[in-house]
Amino acid sequence: MKKLESYQQFSELRENGKYIFLFSADWCKDCRVIEPVLPEIEAKFTDYTFIHIDRDQFIDLCAELDVFGIPSFIAYNNGTELGRFVSKDRKTQEEIEAFISGLK
C-alpha cells in the first residue's frame, strides 16, 4: 500500500481515480490488527487504489475530513466521496470488505 506524501498529493489523487484512503498510525493497536489482511483486501478490490495516511503526519487533513478515530477508511471516485467507515472501533476483515462491497 502506498503512503501519502503530501496534502497536495491527497487532493490530486482524490480528484482523479478510485481511491480508498486508510487513516492509521504506528501507535494504533487496532490498526496493527488489520495490517496482515490489508494485502488480501487490496487484491480483492482492484478497482481501487489504496493509500495509507499517517494520522499523526496529516492531523490537519484528518480534522478537515472529520476523521477522529482510527483505523478509518474513506473512498472517493473522481472527487466524489463514495462512503466512509470512520470510527475508533477495531475493524474486522469482514467488516472492511462489506464496507467496500457496499460502495456505489
Residue among 4, 31, 96, 103 flagged as catalytic: 31
Measured CA to CA, the distance from residue 102 to residue 104 in angstroms comes to 6
Identify each DSSP E strand in 1-104 by its residue range: 2-3, 18-24, 49-54, 72-77, 80-85
Examine the residue annotation and report whether 62 is marked as an active-site residue of this protein.
Answer: no
pLDDT of residue 48: 97
| Bridge partners for 54 per DSSP | 24
pLDDT of residue 5: 97
pLDDT of residue 89: 85
pLDDT along the chain (104 residues), means of 10: 96 97 95 95 97 97 94 97 92 96 92
Residue among 28, 34, 38, 103 flagged as catalytic: 28
Domains of the chain: 2-101 (3.40.30.10)
pLDDT of residue 104: 77
What pTM was computed for the model? 0.94
pLDDT of residue 1: 92
Measured CA to CA, the distance from residue 50 to residue 43 in angstroms comes to 10
